[in-house]
Homo-oligomer: A and B are copies of this chain.
Amino acid sequence: METNRRWVLARRPKTLVSPADFRLEEVPVPAPAEGEFLIRQHYLSLAPVMAQYVLDGGTIERPVAIGETMRGRGVGRVVASRHPKFRIGDVVHGPFGWQDYALSNGARLTYVSRYAGRIAPMSTAIGVLGITGYTAYFGMKLADPKPGDRILVSGAVGGVGSSVGQIARIMGCTPIVAVCGGPEKAATAIHRLGYDSAIDYRRGALDEAIDDHMPDGLDIYFDNVGGATLEAALNRMRQGARIILCGAISQYMADGKPVGPSNYFKLVYANAQMKGFQIYAFADRYAEAEEALADWIASGRLVWQENLLEGLEIMPKALAGLFEGTNVGKQVVRIAPETAT
């Protein structure tokens, strides 16, 4: 009987996630019951918001229980099936958790990928051709860009941000300005991800930096970070600007009460809007996003950026590492080679 390795939550962290909060277990690989199928996972997704799944007082979704397999999305192939719609060999992505094998009944956020593993590596099913890419796509739809709109994107080389800038270009925005940390990321933003220029937030003086890169202000700000960057963007809005709230990495592991933008009332002076969204609200339109993203990839207008780590063992450390701001592109962990069965 084969072994399934899985990471479970060992204790509930207060304000920072650390590897010691998780425990690796080995259990037998389960067999699917009627209406279920078994996935052998190849890649697991990591995103800053996942800290909220385990933190004491996390504000998003149901917290992972002590002893429960850590929640997270992954992609793999169906290796056994007693479900009519999921067949052996299908590439599926879903909330399969931090483990080698997962059972699913196909309900809730589990999808067969039509393009990942064909026009792009299987890993893109948890990146540009999965929920991460859909988030960039529908966030930009919500921003309602007009040709010539000036756009600022924070977390610009992260999982979502690395597609946002390119989609903004496809939609006719200009200039497309990145906010990211450090010269290496800035170079990636400009030379690989289609940004016109990049602001290194570590150098401070964000308001002035935005003035330098966008002297006429901004029409769209796509926010993945919150905090001081959000405040600076609010200060530089043009009339009718749209602020798209996607993430708030600066707040996910903040001590104490999160900080709201003290200048939120600038929305009044600028006749502007702040729009929040969760990608799950667009679930009935995922096929639209998948088709568009695949078309752009096939025509060379959209490239993806992954930061690939190896091995299931690294998961807790890799999650904590996201908050060190070192990853460029979507953080993906390969837990089995694509050729493995």
Given contacts A239-B281, A260-B259, A281-B239, contact A274 B267 (CB under 8 A): yes
Q: Closest approach, in angstroms, between the C-beta of A228 and any C-beta of chain B?
A: 12
By a CB distance below 8 angstroms, the chain B residues around A265 are 59, 226, 245, 248, 251, 258, 276
By a CB distance below 8 angstroms, the chain B residues around A264 are 245, 260-261, 264, 274
Asked whether any CB of chain B lies closer than 8 Å to the CB of A8, the reply is: no
Which residue on B lies nearest to A262, using beta carbons? B260
Interface size class of A (residues with CB under 8 A): 20 to 34
Across the interface, do B269 and A276 meet the contact criterion of CB distance under 8 Å? yes
A 261-278 binary contact with B (CB < 8 Å = 1; else 0) = 111111111111111111
By a CB distance below 8 angstroms, the chain B residues around A262 are 257-260
Asked whether any CB of chain B lies closer than 8 Å to the CB of A9, the reply is: no
Asked whether any CB of chain B lies closer than 8 Å to the CB of A187, the reply is: no
Which residue on B lies nearest to A231, using beta carbons? B260
Q: Closest approach, in angstroms, between the C-beta of A255 and any C-beta of chain B?
A: 13
Asked whether any CB of chain B lies closer than 8 Å to the CB of A60, the reply is: yes
Across the interface, do B278 and A271 meet the contact criterion of CB distance under 8 Å? yes
CA A246 to CA B273, docked complex, whole Å: 12
By a CB distance below 8 angstroms, the chain B residues around A272 are 275-276
A 21-46 binary contact with B (CB < 8 Å = 1; else 0) = 00000000000000000000000000
CA A271 to CA B274, docked complex, whole Å: 11
CA A248 to CA B274, docked complex, whole Å: 17
Secondary structure type dominating chain A contacts = loop
Across the interface, do B281 and A276 meet the contact criterion of CB distance under 8 Å? no
CA A278 to CA B274, docked complex, whole Å: 15
State which residues 268-307 of A face B: CB under 8 Å.
Answer: 268-278, 281
Which residue on B lies nearest to A226, using beta carbons? B265
Q: Closest approach, in angstroms, between the C-beta of A138 and any C-beta of chain B?
A: 10
Which residue on B lies nearest to A240, using beta carbons? B281
Across the interface, do A273 and B271 meet the contact criterion of CB distance under 8 Å? no
A 127-171 binary contact with B (CB < 8 Å = 1; else 0) = 000000000000000000000000000000000000000000000
Q: Closest approach, in angstroms, between the C-beta of A328 and any C-beta of chain B?
A: 24
Given contacts A226-B265, A265-B59, A281-B239, contact A270 B260 (CB under 8 A): no
Across the interface, do A275 and B269 meet the contact criterion of CB distance under 8 Å? no
CA A281 to CA B273, docked complex, whole Å: 14
By a CB distance below 8 angstroms, the chain B residues around A270 are 276
Partner of A260, one of B246, B263, B273, B275: B263
By a CB distance below 8 angstroms, the chain B residues around A267 are 245, 274-276
Across the interface, do A277 and B281 meet the contact criterion of CB distance under 8 Å? no
Between A and B, 7 residue pairs with Cβ closer than 8 Å are: A226-B265, A239-B281, A251-B265, A259-B262, A267-B274, A271-B277, A271-B281
Q: Which 4 A-B pairs have the closest CB atoms?
A: A267-B276, A260-B260, A268-B276, A260-B261
Known: A59-B269, A268-B276, A274-B275. 10 other contacts (CB 8 A): A239-B281, A258-B262, A260-B260, A260-B262, A260-B263, A264-B274, A266-B276, A270-B276, A271-B277, A273-B273
